[in-house]
Amino acid sequence: MVYFSHISSEIAICSIMYGCIGFPIAKYIHLPARFQMMAAHNNPLCVNESLPLRKIVHMSGVAVPFIADIYGREYAALALASATLIFLIMEVIKPAEKKWYVYGLLWRNREKEVFALDPFFYILSFFVLLGLSYFVNEGICYASMVVLALGDGVAPLIGHLGKLKLPGSCKTVEGTTGGIILSSIVGFYFVGALAVVGSVAGMVAECSISRHDNLFIPFAALMAMLLVRVFFKINV
């Protein structure tokens, strides 16, 4: 009975998430190629701002699910709260100190004058996934964090070396493939082979959404893994 109530909650969450996340992704993917090309051309994320330190910070988020799994979710929440505090302090002092060298390494050009939404959404997604882990399979929530931290983090780094552009996108086949492989390998620790499903779904979202993909990548991965687990009765 407990198992079925747990599954029911996962189905309900999948339904809600499809309305909030799945439909926008599907809507974007079905846009004519001409408009997708326009979106890619006008997308500020396509500007060549490598920001390697920012990517290192981004990928360091992979520590959060391991902290939650090994030491407990309260310690992971504490780590996220600390990261949030540091981020907000840097945002507050940014108007006066935006000429600091560190801001050029961590903030995109457009973020130096306004509130940096992408890092905020990144931390927010981790908090939401950590909260959801109390209601749905925690391993799936942790694997979704891995997709966001590593898959989305490594894809641009590999993508700079890639030559094969995805249709209607500034992303590359090499970058997307690298993100899938790395997040699948690390995510295997939490959910086994199901990590491949989440990695593919998350990286499809990464190369389909033009802005604020930190909100879409982990939940696309989460929804895909939950659906496969429910319909194929996979135990993780």
Q: How far apart are CA 227 and CA 212, in angstroms?
A: 24
What burial class does residue 52 get, using C-beta atoms within 10 Å of its C-beta: 0-12 exposed, 13-18 middle, 19+ buried? exposed
pTM metric for this prediction: 0.81
pLDDT tens digit at each of 236 positions of the chain: 544 455 555 655 555 555 555 445 444 444 334 333 333 434 444 555 567 788 899 999 999 999 999 999 999 999 999 999 999 998 888 876 656 666 677 888 888 788 999 999 999 999 999 999 999 999 999 999 999 999 999 988 888 887 888 877 778 899 999 999 999 999 999 999 999 999 999 999 998 887 889 999 999 999 999 999 999 988 87
Please report where in the chains the tokens 């600091």 appear, as a residue.
100
Q: Are 80 and 123 in contact (CB under 8 A)?
A: yes
Which residues contact residue 36 at a Cβ distance below 8 angstroms, ignoring those fewer than 6 apart? 28, 167, 168, 169
Residue ranges of the domains in the chain?
Answer: 2-232
Give the tens place of pLDDT for each residue, 158-176: 888 878 888 777 788 999 9
| 9 token code pair | 């909650």
Coil/strand/helix, residue 107: coil
Per the CB < 8 A criterion, the answer to whether 105 and 53 are in contact is yes
Phi, psi of 172 (to 5 degrees): -115, 155
Residue 35 one-letter amino acid: F
pLDDT digits (tens, 9 = 90+) for 204-220: 999 888 788 999 999 99
- Only one residue has tokens 């908090």, namely 127
Q: Residue 219, Cβ neighbours under 10 Å: how many?
A: 26
